[in-house]
Amino acid sequence: MFARRIDQLSSSLVRDILAATKRPGMVSFAGGLPAEEALYRPDKLDAGLLANAWQYGETEGEPALRAEIARLGNKLGIACTPAQVLIVNGSQQGIDLVSKLMIDEGTPVLTEAPAYLAALQSFKLFGARFCPVSVGPDGADLAGFERTLADVRMAYLTPTFQNPSGYCYSDAERDAVAAALDRHDALLFEDDPYRALSYDGEAPQPIAGRLKSARWVYQGSFSKTLAPGLRLGFLIVHPDLITPLTRLKQAADLHSNRVSQTIIADLLAKGELEQHVASVLPLYRERRDAMATALQRHLGGHAHWQLPAGGLFFWLKLARSCDTMALMRRALDAGIAVMPGEPFFPNGADASYLRLNFSHASPEQIEQGIARLAQLLNAD
């Protein structure tokens, strides 16, 4: 009665947990929501600025915004022109479009293990067969990359403050992965939403700009730096890919919202994106450090973790084997939302991880929430 792919549409855990977090009094470490205080909220929206935002627009995006994004890309070492930029409705649409471009039933796709949950869900919907390579606190498994890249059409990577592990590939790892992609001529899909949220100095430049021959898609988003409600992200892509991706975007929704595009193009032109990010970093750093302190105080014996240098998450390996799906449900009953690690592993897997978001709760809520989580683990 439905298309076969609908069998792959499991209920999204993220969605269900986010729904639960709306209950009053809930402390949420579950989502990847920016702090309310960090959202870009314009005082007023100028009707003059928006005068040309109402008619149908170009599928690729507003020319002024594409030009600004090409400038951003070049600053990051990705040699590109505005013609290589495609504006999308946040990163998730970029994932949908690249899935459509690359994935048939059974197409082998390299992903990190663990990897970004909602990307795995999209790839699976289109029939991907996952070929995972381990990435985590001890680094990226470079031998695994070399071995696995021989068999895949595409590699999906989030090398900078990875979601969920928080890991940031070193310069040497990036060079090695780029060389392996070139050797095997596999397409790189580099998803980079957290780069600007860097708390201890600048992250190494993207892998996309280090490639010599392999084709690539580099993705960025304004959801973490400005406001998710604007639903705006971008792809910068190898010249071979812009035409099919633009046609896929046209078939998906003609073009992206012009009000959001106009607001963001204006901000970028005035240099206000960087100012806004600089103004919110201290808040995020404070919350990260508050969570580090609370974890040390309450979960020292229960789990291992590393201090994330950027992004929005701590990634905890529990010391004892633990059914984290059951733990999550008990935590919800106790008023804390946490994300079990299991769904981040492409082929199911090691259940003894938790992902904890530190950006949305206040330092006081972080202290209380981690203390309650420790009580649950102690009661085990």
Residues in contact with a copy of itself by the rule CB under 8 A? 1-6, 9, 11-12, 15, 18, 31, 33-34, 36, 39-45, 47, 50-51, 53-57, 59, 88-90, 92-93, 96, 100-104, 107, 118, 121-122, 125-126, 153, 223, 227-231, 244, 247-248, 250-260
- Smallest separation (angstroms) from a copy of itself to the CB of 168: 24
Alpha carbon distance 52, 117 (integer Å): 37
- Smallest separation (angstroms) from a copy of itself to the CB of 296: 30
**Per-residue tokens: 248:** 């896929």
- Looking up tokens 């499991």 gives 10
- Looking up tokens 């690249």 gives 98
Choose between 104 and 138: whose C-beta lies nearer to a copy of itself.
104
- Smallest separation (angstroms) from a copy of itself to the CB of 228: 4
| Pair 351, 322: CB distance under 8 Å | yes
CB contact burial 305-321 (16+ within 10 A = b; e otherwise)? bbebbbbbbbbbbbeee
Bridge partners of 190, per DSSP, are 157, 218
- Smallest separation (angstroms) from a copy of itself to the CB of 96: 5
- Looking up tokens 């789990």 gives 303
Choose between 8 and 134: whose C-beta lies nearer to a copy of itself.
8
Amino acid at 118: A
Choose between 90 and 136: whose C-beta lies nearer to a copy of itself.
90
**Per-residue tokens: 134:** 């381990």
138 CB neighbour count, 10 Å cutoff: 9
Choose between 55 and 213: whose C-beta lies nearer to a copy of itself.
55
- Smallest separation (angstroms) from a copy of itself to the CB of 44: 5
Choose between 55 and 321: whose C-beta lies nearer to a copy of itself.
55
What is the DSSP secondary-structure string of 317-336? Answer: EESS---HHHHHHHHHHTTE
82 CB neighbour count, 10 Å cutoff: 18
| Pair 93, 332: CB distance under 8 Å | no
Choose between 126 and 305: whose C-beta lies nearer to a copy of itself.
126
Choose between 40 and 305: whose C-beta lies nearer to a copy of itself.
40
- Smallest separation (angstroms) from a copy of itself to the CB of 174: 24
- Smallest separation (angstroms) from a copy of itself to the CB of 309: 24
Helix 117-125 vs helix 90-102: angle between axes, to the nearest 10 degrees?
A: 40
